[in-house]
Amino acid sequence: MLHFLIIAPLIMAILAPILFKKIKGVHTGWFILVVPLFIFIYLLSLVSTVIHKPLFLQLNWMPSLGINFDLYVDGLSMLFGLLITGIGSLVVFYSIYYLHKTEKLGHFYVYLLMFMTAMLGVVFSDNLFVFYMFWEFTSLSSFLLIGFWNHREKSRYGAQKSMLITVFGGLSMLAGLVWMSIVVGTNSIRGLIQHADVIIQSDYFLPILLLVLLGAFTKSAQFPFHTWLPDAMEAPTPVSAYLHSATMVKAGIYLVARLSILFSGTDEFFLIVSGFGLLTLCWGSYNAVKHTDLKGILAYSTISQLGMIMAMLGFGTGVAVFAAIFHILNHATFKGSLFMVAGIVDHETGTRDIRRLGGLFTLMPITATLAIFGVFSMAGIPLPILNGFLSKEMFFDAAVDLRLESGSIYQMVAPFFPVIAVIGSIFTFVYSMILYFQTFTGELKLSKLERKPHDPPLGMLLSPFVLVVLIIVIALFPGPFNHYLLTPAVAAVMGSEVPHTKIYFWHGFFNAPLFMSLIVLFTGTLLYFTRSKWVHVYDRFPGSWSMNKAYDSIVGGIFKGSATLTNTYMTGSLRNYFRIIIGFIAILGLYTIYITTGFKFDQVTNSALAIPELIIALTMMIAAISIIFISNRIAAILALGVVGYGLSLLFVFFSAPDLALTQLSVETVSVALFLLCFYHLPKLKPEKDTSGSKLINIIVSVAFGLMITFIGIASHSSKWFESISDYFLKYSYKLGGGDNVVNVILVDMRGLDTMLEICVLGIAALGILAMIKYSRKGDVE
């Protein structure tokens, strides 16, 4: 059943364009909505079984390669599955009101459904390679969704950027996955986890870890790969809400969480994951403050929140993992609602620029109220109705808790972590306040808006409303969520029964997390009110420096560099190509002879040298060398003839009458052909080459000649086995009925060669005929 449900969105994707074309009256989204809703309900019905025992469902796909569509449903994948389908349903519902029927809805829902299948596949797959397939499928469908309005240049740029970065990471991850499966000898993720010690103790642990983490970091927009996420905001807002807050960017988180049993406990994993997580947290929240675009702020906020989750996964302690899992759920709720609110503001006012917005509370009271909950939850304001506060408190708890861990590296870096966490959270607070108060309070600038805003239709408000209700419900009654979703998920990540962690709003007086929250609150408020004083800091740091620029210069550099490289050897000059080809053959040949010491000169197999042969050879040599210096074409042709006839004479001396005859006739015919063409050819021009280029020609030709000579001598001097010629001499008459062994070989023993050779001749003739007879017609046209 689950196999079918994972594929169900894809099947629906086939129907979506048909529904869009055929049924004009109803918004296509209504039909689509059924799919995620149904999967959501089905998954809900599984929850109670999964908390007791994870499900494992098998389906053979390519058993011979060990690639099977096996599904593994435990707490972690269940949490993600519910997020994907639940928020998916809300997003589809929201998009019904957000996207007008004149948009290319057929395309939109196809991409969205493709994405849904991909994401479900990622979280439920047990097979590494099926997992990877779905992983890349998310990249592909997200590329299509970001570029949905493909007439905009920025959409195309953002789509390309996200594609390049996530696929770069995905391919690295594939290398890591293959490596792991080779080291352990299984393709099953569960199998890998059972053999965690094999991987940790293998020599390749570090490269495997780095490659896999590269995939997770690019997908989850960790520093320095976060740069694609802000540009992905060109997508329609439902897509941003869905992909870039709740689901796809959490695929990397999922991967790290899934494999953290494997890697956790090692210093490398701890340092890299928590280090980059905290860096991303600070960098994202710091940069979010300077943005003026609602979705831009939200994008950087997503980056920083993902960094926070990643850092907690890196800590790897019980509290930290619990907080991470809890924050995954919370972030999905409040960030989803915030994106939808931003979409509503954009939809109603025509702009997302906070410099043009303000005072919208009086005009859009419902939207503003919804936004309050999302924003304050994100900032972690200490109110019992905000789930963001609960998980942020646990994050501080986890950061402080780390000091208790033993181990040299832990003890060395642990004291800094709470400080970094607080700094990151202060900026989170500041941008959250900016996001809300700049948009909904203050002076109303109606003149700058395209239309007079008012609250949107109820349908558009319903999805953010549901999410806001969730924020409050999770905050007030965390117990059931904890029991059914979080604890099984934590158990899946930690790999053991976790001590039942309770979610408290109130940790009591005099504990570190409370003080940290208070510091964040006060410093944040202070910074918010004095922001006009310090905001020019951004001109100094990062100033004009950004990861975007780095990305652009890398991509541009690759383009330019490859163009320059190609232009250096793809000159279009045949002489040049010939030099390269011959030169490399000569180098390879000579080098091979050198390293294998294959050169051998054996005097024994040589026959005695006769004078006439020597004379002929000398004549041929003189003729050949003279061709180089002859500047008269007819003389060159005749000199070439001398070489040919000399060869025919040599054949006579070496008792090859057939060859001699053939060589004689062929040489005659070809000299005649040369002379035929003679009238049409321009005069030979003296060489215009520079002396350097001539020198290269000489070196290359001499090297090539030497190589051929060496190979000839060496192969003549080494006989490894009896030649086959005795057989031919013996059986020529018996089997072929002829005394002329050469001819018997040609027509009987190896007749196929001859047949193909005459085919070659025929083709050559037809080619010449076509070239001469029919090329003129082309000229006229």
Contact set with another protein (CB under 8 A): 657-658, 661-662, 665-666, 668-669, 672-673, 676-677, 736-740, 742-744, 746-748, 751-752, 754-755, 758-759, 761-762, 764-766, 768-769, 772-773
Q: Cα separations (Å) of 136 from 67, 121, 174, 571? A: 16, 11, 10, 38
Beta carbon nearer to another protein, 391 or 663: 663
Nearer of residues 685 and 776 to another protein, judged by Cβ: 776
Q: Buried b vs exposed e over 162-197: b needs ≥16 C-beta within 10 Å?
A: bbbbbbebbbbbbbbbbbbbebbebbbbeebbebbe
Which is nearer to another protein, 679 or 720 (by Cβ)? 679
Least distance in Å: CB of 667 to another protein? 11
Provide the token pair at 764.
Answer: 């050559």
Structure tokens at 506: 């109130």
Integer Cα distance of 131 and 177 in angstroms: 10
Tell me how far, at minimum, the Cβ of 128 lies from another protein, in Å.
Answer: 49
d(CA 358, CA 440): 5
State the nearest-atom distance from the C-beta of 657 to another protein, in Å. Answer: 4
Amino acid making up residue 778: G
Closest approach of another protein to the CB of residue 763, in Å = 9
Residue 72 in tokens: 């593994």
Helices (H) and strands (E) in the chain, counts: 35, 2
Q: How far apart are CA 751 and CA 746, in angstroms?
A: 5
Taking the alpha carbons at both ends of the chain, their separation in whole angstroms is 65
Instruction: Give SS3 for 724.
Output: coil
CB of 651 to another protein, least distance (A): 11
| CA dihedral over 180, 181, 187, 191, signed as positive or negative | negative
- C-beta closer to another protein: residue 611 or 760: 760
Q: Which is nearer to another protein, 526 or 675 (CB)?
A: 675
- What is the enclosing helix (H) or strand (E) of 462? helix 458-476
Secondary structure of 660-686 as H, E, C letters: HHHHHHHHHHHHHHHHHHHCCCCCCCC
Instruction: Output the smallest distance, CB 703 to another protein, in A.
Output: 35
Q: Min. distance of Cβ 765 from another protein in angstroms?
A: 4
* Alpha-carbon gap, residue 160 to 172, rounded angstroms: 18
State the Cα angle at 141 between 136 and 145, rounded to 5°.
145
Please report how close the Cβ of residue 728 comes to another protein at its closest, in angstroms: 14
| 558/768 with CB nearer another protein | 768
User: 2 with 124: CB under 8 angstroms?
Assistant: yes
Pick the closest to residue 445 from 350, 562, 322, 576 (CA basis). Answer: 350
By the 8 A CB rule, do 423 and 369 touch? no
How far is 62 from 71, CA to CA, in rounded Å?
15
Q: In the bound complex, what is the minimum distance in angstroms from residue 696's beta carbon to another protein?
A: 35
Question: Which of 434, 425, 400 has its CA nearest to residue 519?
Answer: 425
Shortest spacing between CB 559 and another protein, in angstroms:
46
What DSSP string describes 198-233? HHHHSTTHHHHHHHHHHHHHHHTT-TTSTTHHHHGG
- Return the DSSP state at 509: S
Q: Which is nearer to another protein, 576 or 754 (CB)?
A: 754
Instruction: Collect all residues with Cβ–Cβ distance below 8 Å to 445 and sequence separation of at least 6.
Output: 356, 357, 358, 359
- HEC string of 468-501? HHHHHHHHHCHHHHHHHHHHHHHHHHHCCCCCCC
Q: State the minimum distance, in angstroms, from the CB of residue 623 to another protein.
A: 23
Dist. CA 635–CA 648, nearest whole Å: 20
CB 211, CB 176: distance < 8 Å? yes
Q: Which is nearer to another protein, 570 or 764 (CB)?
A: 764
Closer Cβ to another protein, 595 or 760, answer by number: 760
CB nearer another protein, residue 570 or residue 755: 755
Nearer to another protein, 542 or 736 (CB): 736
> Considering beta carbons, is residue 580 or 768 the nearer one to another protein?
768
* Lookup: tokens for 254: 């999922």
**In this complex, which beta carbon is closest to another protein, that of residue 153 or of residue 739?**
739
In the complex with another protein, which residue's Cβ is closer, 739 or 781? 739
Cα–Cα dist 188/255, whole Å: 14
Distance (Å, whole) CA 714 – CA 704: 15
Residue 501 phi/psi, 5° resolution? -95, 130
User: Which is closer to another protein, CB of 711 or CB of 749?
Assistant: 749
**Least distance from another protein to the Cβ atom of residue 678, Å:** 11
Closer to another protein by Cβ: residue 351 or 743: 743
Torsion angle, alpha carbons of 719, 721, 724, 726, to 10: 90
Task: Report the relative pairing of strands 71-73 and 55-57 from DSSP bridges.
Answer: antiparallel
Name 373's Cβ contacts closer than 8 Å, sequence gap at least 6. Answer: 334, 337, 385, 386, 468, 471, 472
Identity of the residue, 679 or 721, whose beta carbon is nearer to another protein in the bound complex: 679
Q: Which residue lies nearer to another protein by CB, 415 or 751?
A: 751
- Measured torsion, CA atoms of residues 167, 170, 172, 175, in degrees rounded to the nearest 10: -130
Provide the token pair at 397: 């708890």
